[in-house]
Structure 1
Amino acid sequence: MITCVLHYTIDPAQIEAFERFAREWMRLVNRHGGVHHGYFLPAEGASDRAEALFSFESLAAYERYRSRFGHDPEFVAADRIREESGCVVRYERTFMRPLLPTD
């Protein structure tokens, strides 16, 4: 399993748009073979930071999902929320492997 951790700098004035953007991407990840672990939005402290985590069974499975970017109408529409609202100032993506508890 590979987990993508997204670190966002967001526009706090556009939090509602960011939430719409996030809901769409959670749906798309889950629909296309991943497991979305959620978005984590500002509650206390820095108001311009958000995080997201989602997993795919492998990097190859993630790449199949990523191949839809830019041409699949649902992916384009979800990205349009970000582009039109300016809710995301910048983001960075890190891939991690989980170390899970054992029984």
Structure 2
Amino acid sequence: MVHYTIDPGEIAAFERFAREWMRLVAAHGGVHHGYFLPAEGASDKAEALFSFESLAAYERYRARFGSDPEFIAADRIRDDSGCVVRYERTFMRPLLPGQ
């Protein structure tokens, strides 16, 4: 899970950033469960939820950061627009119905 503090004036840029990361997660072995954007209440918080089949699969995905041109371009949306003020990653495991 990624917790974002965003610039509400740059929501369109954040949506471009989010769409690109949803595509990249899916293209590199993960399942993106979506971004959750402000609707009512606090207007500067957003969340993203995605999963990989294993820590090893996630680490292969993360190894592309800073070197893969598509990953760099996706981060450039964030950096150039300033749409993300800060973010924090939290690693969680699901507890699903029937488990």
Whole-angstrom distance in 1 between the partners of 2:2 and 2:87: 7
Q: Output one character per residue of 1:34-60: Cα deviation in whole Å (capped at 9) or x when no partner.
A: 000000000000000000000001111
Identity %: 85
> Which residue pairs with 1:56 in the alignment?
52
TM-score for the superposition, normalised by structure 1: 0.94
Whole-angstrom distance in 1 between the partners of 2:2 and 2:72: 19
Aligned: 1:28 with 2:24:
yes
Q: Output one character per residue of 1:41-96: Cα deviation in whole Å (capped at 9) or x when no partner.
A: 00000000000000001111101000000010100000000000000000000000
What is the CA-CA distance between 1:17 and the residue it aligns to?
0.1
CA RMSD of aligned residues (A): 0.9
Q: What is the letter of the counterpart of residue 34 of structure 1?
A: G
TM-score for the superposition, normalised by structure 2: 0.98
Q: What residue ranges of structure 1 are gaps of 5+ in the alignment?
A: none
- Segments of 4+ moved more than 2 angstroms: none
Whole-angstrom distance in 2 between the partners of 1:39 and 1:74: 19
Aligned: 1:14 with 2:16:
no
Q: How does 1:1-103 map to 2 (within 5 A)?
A: 5-102=1-98
Whole-angstrom distance in 1 between the partners of 2:2 and 2:69: 22
